[in-house]
């Protein structure tokens, strides 16, 4: 499926670029560049690197001012919940970014966890593109609209607490069982492995998770388990 024209996405994010090619680059995955035969083009990894730094600064500044009595440790947890892969991928999805991504044919077919990473990285790249094109204020405004409104929900529902800790706490409270995590599979070369983990309550496998590390896979499994149990 071909991506939609980039000017339509510009309308969605309510920002008119001086250099529209920056936004196009932000939505261009490395895999597309490897397949593209129309001449040299740039993928979004440098913009992602820049956008990640801008995002962290904006969120940190916001949290510091919003919660003047909170200790550094809690603020760090709040920030981690606001800028993690799941949050950013969901924000990108809400904007319809998936329809504007430029991907290889292989990546375009994959709609699993790998696509979540791609969407989250593209979201950071969009921030980087806004920063380069229009400055810090434009990037901050975009983050204000898309990420910062999630803060109250994250804090009130304790979504900032890592999923493994939260699932263990609730499982012990409700069913008096400590969750166990089993590595079920790993695939890919050493430098790019994907791990698949199951989380169990006794004999029951509640959910599965995948990630670039065992710890990440366990966190995803715990998140899915919380949803599966309605906890």
C-beta of residue 103 within 8 angstroms of C-beta of residue 29: yes
Q: What is the 3-state secondary structure (H, E, C) of 8-48?
A: HHHHHCCCCCCCHHHHHHHCECHHHHHHCCCCCCCCCHHHH
Q: Quote the crossing angle between the two packed helices 113-134 and 85-94, to the nearest 10°.
A: 70
| Alpha-carbon distances, residue 65 vs 68, 77, 82, 150 (angstroms) | 6, 15, 16, 16
Q: Tell me the C-alpha distance between 64 and 58, whole Å.
A: 10
Active site residues: 52, 124
**b/e for 57-76, b at 16 or more Cβ within 10 A?**
ebbbebbeeeeeeeeeeebe
User: Which CA distances in Å does 69 have to 27, 53, 61, 151, 175?
Assistant: 39, 25, 14, 16, 35
Buried b (16+ CB within 10 A) or exposed e, 138-161: bbbebbeebbbeebeebbeeebbe
Total count of residues recorded for the chain: 231
């Amino acid at each position: 499926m071909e991506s939609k024209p980039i000017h339509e996405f510009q309308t969605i994010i309510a920002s008119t670029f001086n250099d529209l090619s920056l936004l196009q680059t932000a939505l261009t995955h490395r895999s597309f560049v490897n397949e593209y035969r129309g001449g040299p083009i740039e993928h979004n990894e440098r913009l992602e690197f820049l956008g990640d730094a801008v995002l962290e600064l904006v969120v940190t500044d916001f949290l510091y001012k919003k919660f003047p009595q909170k200790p550094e440790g809690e603020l760090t947890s709040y920030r981690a919940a606001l800028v993690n892969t799941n949050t950013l991928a969901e924000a990108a999805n809400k904007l319809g970014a998936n329809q504007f991504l430029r991907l290889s044919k292989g990546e375009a077919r994959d709609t699993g966890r790998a696509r979540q990473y791609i969407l989250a990285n593209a979201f950071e790249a969009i921030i980087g593109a806004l920063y380069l094109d229009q400055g810090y204020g434009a990037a901050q405004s975009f983050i204000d609209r898309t990420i910062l409104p999630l803060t109250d929900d994250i804090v009130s529902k304790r979504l900032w607490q890592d999923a493994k800790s939260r699932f263990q706490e609730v499982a012990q409270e409700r069913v008096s069982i400590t969750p166990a995590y089993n590595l079920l599979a790993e695939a890919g070369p050493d430098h790019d492995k994907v791990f698949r983990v199951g989380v169990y309550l006794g004999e029951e496998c509640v959910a599965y998770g995948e990630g670039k590390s065992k710890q990440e896979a366990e966190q995803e499994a715990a998140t899915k388990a919380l949803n599966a149990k309605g906890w």
